[in-house]
A = this chain, B = another copy of it.
Amino acid sequence: MVEMVHRIQDIICDAIAHLDSSTFREDKWTREEGGGGRSRVFSGGHVFEKAGVNVSVVHGILSPEAALRMGGGNDLGSDNLDFFATGLSLVLHPHNPMAPTVHANYRYFERGDGLSDGSWWFGGGADLTPSYLFEDDAIHFHQVHKTVCDRHDIADYEAFKSWCDDYFHIKHRSERRGVGGVFFDDLRAESKEVCFAFVEDCASHFLDAYLPIIERRKDMEFTAQQKEWQQLRRGRYVEFNLVYDRGTKFGLTTNGRIESILMSLPLTSRWEYCHEVKSGTDEEKMLNVLRQPVDWLKR
């Protein structure tokens, strides 16, 4: 898993750097309590306002608070607070409001011995956050992920798609963060090898899911008003990440590297009091989908 996340980080960064004609800044960091990571970020690119692709390999002793926030290990109780975690996490925020933000994460956790049942698990997923809805984009993104899931007996696209909608839920707004994708956690069926094969397959197809979308949206024309709507949606992204995201909370309570954790935040965002979208507009069309998730592959 450690080898895989580094290899996929290289592949994804090469593709994104090429697309953007930009170079990632790389920061290698270590964590006092054990482990470290390799963060790659650039901002103010040609296509992306901000792009971050991070890997980390950390270990130590969980606080009981952090243990509660993990996706698995629930049957271990409050003993066995030793942990090992590795993963890749990426967020790409394009400039163009017609081009969606994307987030992906592939991770492996161990608590305690990492051998007995319940002491190891995988998690991950990818989700798409447009400011303007292009149904073709949502369908393509979901289709790539369904195709990967269908190759693995332990993966259930329908369940992982619903889990994604449930997870990226900004409860206080009654909105989802975006048009979803897949999300899974506490994955520990069959064997580590079987689970790993699925997670590696997901990570290996991230670019297939996103590149065609960004290619066709990055140079579209847009108005100042559309850019402002994107900024308001960026504000919602910030709300989700700071109020609900488990990865962010986990990082903030385990003395993670703050700049790597918060690289997921957009470069700029906006909050307008009581903003309302007009009936029949593209903004309303987007909001309707965020309020009522769609089964993109069943339409």
Binding site for B on A (CB under 8 A): 25, 27, 41, 43, 50, 52, 171-173, 231, 235, 238-239, 242-243, 252, 258-259, 261-263, 265-274
Distance from A170 Cβ to chain B, minimum over Cβ atoms (Å): 10
Distance from A127 Cβ to chain B, minimum over Cβ atoms (Å): 20
Distance from A39 Cβ to chain B, minimum over Cβ atoms (Å): 8
Closest partner residue, chain B, to A252 (CB atom): B172
Q: Is the CB of B235 within 8 A of A273?
A: no
Distance from A294 Cβ to chain B, minimum over Cβ atoms (Å): 24
Contacts A/B (CB < 8 Å), 18 sampled:
A25-B273, A41-B274, A43-B273, A50-B271, A50-B273, A172-B252, A172-B258, A173-B258, A239-B242, A243-B252, A259-B274, A263-B273, A265-B271, A267-B270, A267-B272, A268-B268, A268-B270, A268-B271
Q: Is the CB of A268 within 8 A of B43?
A: no
Residues of B within 8 A of A239 (CB): 242, 262
Q: In the bound complex, how far is the Cα of B25 from the Cα of A265, in angstroms? A: 30
Distance from A171 Cβ to chain B, minimum over Cβ atoms (Å): 8
Q: Is the CB of B172 within 8 A of A272?
A: no
Q: In the bound complex, how far is the Cα of B241 from the Cα of A239, in angstroms? A: 10
Residues of B within 8 A of A274 (CB): 25, 27, 41, 259
Distance from A13 Cβ to chain B, minimum over Cβ atoms (Å): 15
Residues of B within 8 A of A271 (CB): 50, 262, 265-268
Q: In the bound complex, how far is the Cα of B228 from the Cα of A43, in angstroms? A: 15
Q: Is the CB of A269 within 8 A of B268?
A: yes
Residues of B within 8 A of A266 (CB): 271
Contacts A41-B274, A43-B272 supplied; 11 other A-B pairs, CB < 8 Å? A50-B273, A52-B273, A173-B258, A235-B265, A239-B242, A239-B262, A242-B243, A259-B273, A267-B272, A268-B269, A268-B270
Q: In the bound complex, how far is the Cα of B242 from the Cα of A136, in angstroms? A: 34
Q: In the bound complex, how far is the Cα of B242 from the Cα of A252, in angstroms? A: 13
Cross-chain contact of A242 among B25, B171, B242, B267 (Cβ < 8 A): B242
Q: With A173-B258, A252-B172, A273-B52 in contact, do A268 and B238 touch (Cβ < 8 Å)?
A: no
